[in-house]
Copies of this chain bind each other. A is one copy, B any other.
Amino acid sequence: MADGEFDRGLALRRHMFGSGGAETEIEAASDFTRPLQELVTRSCFGELWHRPELDLKLRSMLTIGMLAALGRPNQIRVHVKGAIANGVSRAEIREILLHAATYGGLPAAVDSFTAAGEALAELDAAQ
């Protein structure tokens, strides 16, 4: 059953961030990073994200909102791509970041807009 959760988490990471991202990170994991990869893959994407009360699109929206309020632009960059894969539109991402500007402060939101804009430009360039 635990393997089921790992596999399910890996599949979701692959769906959200591309097959390169998740698998490269897991294959490249050293003794130092392996427990984090386990935690992210099994507990976060394999369990939390699969709880039925909130669907993937909504979890992506909430995640971006929390990351923007907390001022974590590196993770915004990653999760904007995942949000697009989960069906969040660019206009919705923009509105979540504006909402975060009021609740988490303008500086965190400005950094988040910059990171999100870069992630969206990378998605455009990849097409």
- For A117, give its contact among B33, B51, B65, B116 (CB under 8 Å): B33
Interface residue ranges of A68-83 to B (CB < 8 Å): 68-72, 74-75
Count the A residues whose beta carbon is within 8 Å of the partner chain — how many? 56
- 8 shortest interchain CB distances as A-B pairs: A66-B69, A105-B105, A53-B95, A75-B107, A72-B107, A62-B65, A66-B103, A104-B105
- CB pairs A–B below 8 angstroms (24 shown): A32-B120, A36-B101, A40-B106, A43-B43, A43-B102, A53-B94, A54-B96, A58-B61, A61-B61, A61-B62, A62-B65, A62-B96, A63-B99, A66-B66, A66-B100, A70-B70, A70-B103, A70-B104, A74-B111, A75-B107, A75-B111, A103-B106, A104-B105, A105-B105
